[in-house]
Structure 1
């Protein structure tokens, strides 16, 4: 994922209290229409030729991001296009980034030209029309460069709003040292996973097969894998059903771990959490394909101990899901949108930029890299020489289709701890927490001007 290993707290994207994501909804186009088409180079705004001309002319841009590769990417871009100056601002993480961006948009000034946004947060800036639709610059012609799931994440509402930076197909990360010591078997299904969790905790109650204090991103990803599609958005019309069959399938499975006291309760992304990954207190982690870079940067004690396996499945169903991932977008406040779009095009499609991104541990969204024998065959010393990329690429081929986030997903995640999180805290039924989360989101969505139906 587009994580900043030093400061990013998963699921902590809390927006300022004054955020109103429903602005201009009446004028918003339906998100049901795909924007996979393209505009020719001679399109309304000059297409890609306008971007090439902007690069030749040059100018100055501001770029907000939290990806660790940004400094090296900007340096490479400025070397290739010396007429362009990019002012890089490290926003530290998605939560701070979103709040700062929303405040600048509301104020009418101070926003960057280009900014990183998580896929799950994109709609909250698209629907109020705060971003530039990149269709007119020929971005539709780039569709074939990206995996289907990530292209789908940046399109909708009859527009193309960014280019995928990375992807997060999910896999099982496990501590081989712990597995060998306690005679554990790498689980293929979630039933296997629960059985091994019981075995480890019975052998050593100080160790946990899995740690989860109630993470919104983890929950929605597992619902996604289980076939749940609880959120459906069509412009200002939104439906929420966190008791659909897939949501219940996830909750009933995860309840066996939660109610059974088998979940570790170390706050995710804390120093204690990283330490627990390094000393074997936490034995597995099911998360996105961006995690190897985080392990290498933040869990040095785990080097040589961890391995990667396919994500456990619900029975014979081979479906996987995504967890995390980001795009870059052009903000409407930009005084030079052509130059901003040209920089964005280079940033997430030029092989020189993608190469820098991969070198910093990023997991690609570009099909050329996902299919590359060199990428898939790379032996990773941290993971005992394992070819971890191949495992994660295989997961990307089975990501379930049709997933949607709420138009206010960042806000939804910010209230997760007050709803579903209570079920984790009390080791009680997660289904009841999901119902409470649904109720609060229905109320919030209606207050923002959406037409929201439940169930």
Structure 2
């Protein structure tokens, strides 16, 4: 999906002044033409251009299936956009192609970013990635199925397994849906690893994928959920997140990890949704999984001043709130988060917002993360399959990550 909202290149204006056109490539967060991100950018750009007649903003919106590839093709061809709002920034930053956040934004805007998100936008302690959208994950459960089975939401792994056993006994198709298929296995995996006291990296940011904690977590999943038939008829390694979400919205899933979009989808289909923090070994997990998408500014065209001014406008409290509310996402700024935490219209997002300060994000500041993530998607389902070897899978992934560590 493409929308050109204004501008036709850099031209000399009347009286010798120079007009500037900024090219922005953005991802589409909508699920139909009615709520396409084209409309969000259209409104925002019209307002900005009315106040800045010497700057035009040319926006192209692509689906998430295409946007990262499109930007890469543009950069490789020597025609980088001025701004890109996509899924990853680290590779471009490592190649020296991006402006630093401090070269673009006002001090007020830069200081307003949520701390965890700003930190995730850094490469070697310098921020290049500007968080644009964020989310956290909670354990979703079907209230109707739980009430019929006389269950309470789980607080520990053993509670979760016991609830899943009870749901299976009542014929629930997916007592716990464990999507470790190629769509987003890295997210489900990370949620579980964090709840087991591990994760993809250690405290200093070095890959620690084959840690004892991670091996113990995957072994528990293999033996206590998958091995006992509590994850449904589709093998976790073949179950994608989208299919798991669809099954939950159809009332066929007792529990699964989800984000705010699932709440909206399931509620629209009449499912009574409950949400609690991810269970841990002995109680609720101390760390939630967070995710973020990124805005970045390329140096190629030299429009730092204009790009920075436009980004200050993009990250204004009003515009951050408008985007977050339109797409059921969490705001990336403290000012917007404070409003959402008390506004009645945002009550459904508060449980996710509460988890954000406790969240840990993917190691997106590493240029190696894209490759490591791809290997996790391919292999993690094998680790928890009956007869699978979690330690062997984690060792292979650690080898992949360590080989790339020196350049990331």
Q: Normalization by structure 2: what TM-score?
A: 0.79
Contact 1:320 1:396 in 2 (8 A): no
Name the CA distance, whole Å, in 2 between partners of 1:72 and 1:294: 22
Query: What residue number does 2:378 align with?
Result: 418
Rounded to whole Å, the distance in 1 between the matches of 2:198 and 2:365 is: 12
| Deviation at residue 176 of structure 1 after TM alignment | 0.9
Indicate how the Cα distance of structure 1 residues 131 and 210 shifts in structure 2: closer, same or farther if over 3 A, else same: same
**What is the distance in 1 between the residues matched to 2:325 and 2:289?**
21
- Within the alignment, does 1:117 sit opposite 2:117 as a pair? no
Does the alignment pair 1:278 with 2:246? Answer: no
After TM superposition, give the deviation of residue 226 of structure 1 in Å. 3.5
Could you give the per-residue CA deviations for residues 268-303 of structure 1, whole angstroms, max 9, x where no partner exists?
A: 244x4443122221222223xxx323542x446534
What do the CA deviations read for 1:368-424 (whole angstroms, capped 9, x no partner)?
23233x5445367xxxxxx43232222223335996764222222222243223234
Show the counterpart of 1:399.
359
> Relative to 1, partners in 2 of residues 1:425 and 1:301: Cα closer, same or farther, differing over 3 Å?
farther
Query: Among residues 236, 240, 246, which one is paired with 1:268 in the alignment?
Result: 240
- Report the counterpart of residue 208 of structure 1 in structure 2: 175
**Alignment partner of 1:365: what SS?**
coil
Q: Is the aligned partner of 1:364 residue 2:331? A: yes
Distance change (3 Å), C-alpha of 1:248 and 1:267 = closer
**1:224 has 2:186 as partner:** no
Structure with the larger RCO, 1 or 2 (CA within 8 Å, 6+ apart): 1
Change beyond 3 A, Cα 1:100–1:60: closer
Helix, strand or coil at the partner of 1:167 = strand
User: Superposed, which structure 2 residues align to 1:137-216 within 5 Å?
Assistant: 137-204=104-171, 206-214=173-181, 215-216=185-186
What's the CA shift string for 1:124-164, capped at 9, x where partnerless?
A: 22212222112123455434422221111112324221322
- Residue number in structure 1 paired with 2:26: 64
C-alpha displacement of 1:191? 2.3
Contact 1:173 1:306 in 2 (8 A): yes
Confirm whether residue 390 of structure 1 aligns to residue 358 of structure 2.
Answer: no
SS in 2 for 1:164: strand
Q: What is the SS of the residue equivalent to 1:254?
A: helix
| Aligned partners of 1:176 and 1:305 also within 8 Å | yes
Work out the CA distance in 1 between the residues paired with 2:196 and 2:86.
Answer: 26
TM-score (norm 1): 0.72
CA 1:314/1:129 → structure 2, altered by over 3 Å: closer, same or farther?
A: farther
* Cα distance in 2 for residues equivalent to 1:89 and 1:427: 48
Q: Does the alignment pair 1:259 with 2:231?
A: no
Aligned length: 374
Q: Residue 175 of structure 2 contacts residue 231 of structure 2 at CA under 8 Å; is this kept in 1? A: yes
Tell me: CA distance 1:331–1:250, structure 2 relative to 1, closer, same or farther (3 Å): farther
Shift in Å, 1:221: 3.5
Q: 2:76 aligns with which of 95, 106, 124?
A: 106
Show CA shifts across 1:53-111 (max 9, x none).
xxx96534233223336334322232233234333322211x532222223222222x3
Tell me what 1:76 maps to. 44
- Contact in 2 for aligned 1:61/1:340 (Cα 8 Å): no
CA–CA separation in structure 2 for the residues paired with 1:353 and 1:135:
21
- Which residue, out of 394, 400, 405, partners 1:440? 400
CA deviation map 1:12-50 (0-9, x unaligned): xxxxxxxxxxxxxxxxxxxxxxxxxxxxxxxxxxxxxxx
From the superposition, tell whether residues 402 and 168 of structure 1 become closer, same or farther in structure 2 (CA, over 3 Å). Answer: closer
Q: Call closer, same or farther: CA 1:248–1:207 in 2, change over 3 Å.
A: closer
Q: Deviations over 1:292-351 (max 9, x none)?
A: 23542x44653451122222233246512223211211123345233223223322x212
Pairwise CA distance, 1:186:
0.5
Unpaired segments ≥5 residues, structure 1: 5-55, 381-386
Q: How far apart are 1:427 and its partner, in Å?
A: 5.9
